Amino acid sequence: MGSVTPSTILARELLPWQQRILLGGFTPCTTIDWPGRCAATIFLSGCPWRCPYCHNPRLQQRQRDGLLAWDSIVAALQAGRDTLEGVVFSGGEPTADSQLAAAIGAVKALGFPVGLHTSGAYPERLAKILPLVDWVGFDLKADYASYDALTGARGSAARVTQSARQIIASGVAHEFRLTWHHEVLSEDAAVLAAHFAQHLGARRFVLQEYRTEGVADSQLAEHAPLPARLVARVRQLFADCEVRGEICGLVGELDKLDSEGANPVDKG
């Protein structure tokens, strides 16, 4: 019989999904990740795509952040119960994690509405997740023809099409958003992407200004303001269209919890 150590006791106390879920970061409170709400964000690691402007490149690999435990996140959510209006799952691509549904169920059991950021890379898993969530932020990347080149993944356009249609058909509140940089998408390509979203049935569309924080590809020019002409062309396509200067789902540096589970600890 093996010896019993603190780590084995902890492992016995954790449910199997809690041991397997690939936690990659946690933001205790943000007003950006679920627009209009004060929310906490749980980041999961793993993404099959490689967008050049990815703001969370360290979350692309499927690996666990060993310093972040599920029970610490639960403690932080309970500590913020009076102010938090929801919990968002982000990434990486959160639907890449087979434990996502169990984690959403656990957060729901605590009484919080749940939001989801997704790129639509896993439509089959998304179909099972949609009935569990209250809001979806859908990250569109390009028009159909340009998709695979931008994500670096063959077949991504077809997956996005299937996922987007599922989101719209589900009736779950959602927004489509597109991050624009002139070296990644031309203005015409961005308008094509907006037409793609309109064709899929999107009603609310957000143009997000590129920000350099955390970006993997340092070759991109830092300054990429949204041209007024592009904004005007996109606004013509949607009754509900917003321009956003902040990046949703940006994993922070203050993403570790102390031993009490309630306060972020600076990694630096």
CA-nearest of 232, 246, 237 to 197 is 237
Pairing of strands 135-140, 173-180: parallel
CB of 56 to ligand SF4, least distance (A): 6
Pick the closer one to ligand SF4 by CB: 51 or 106. 51
CB of 49 to ligand SF4, least distance (A): 4
CA-nearest of 159, 84, 83 to 114 is 84
Pick the closer one to ligand SF4 by CB: 28 or 92. 92
Pairing of strands 39-44, 23-30: antiparallel
- Which positions touch ligand SF4 (CB under 6 A)? 47, 49-51, 54, 56, 60, 91-93, 119
DSSP 36-79: TS-EEEEEE---S---TT-S-GGGSS----TT--HHHHHHHHHH
Pick the closer one to ligand SF4 by CB: 92 or 115. 92
Pick the closer one to ligand SF4 by CB: 72 or 175. 175
CB of 228 to ligand SF4, least distance (A): 26
Pick the closer one to ligand SF4 by CB: 32 or 75. 32
CB of 59 to ligand SF4, least distance (A): 6
| CB atoms inside a 10 Å sphere around CB 196 | 24
CB of 138 to ligand SF4, least distance (A): 11
CB of 60 to ligand SF4, least distance (A): 6
**What single-letter DSSP state applies at residue 132?**
G
Pick the closer one to ligand SF4 by CB: 25 or 92. 92
> How many helices and strands (H and E) does the chain possess?
9, 10
Give the angle subtended at the CA of 87 by the CAs of 83 and 89, to the nearest 5°: 155
Give the angle subtended at the CA of 148 by the CAs of 143 and 149, to the nearest 5°: 95
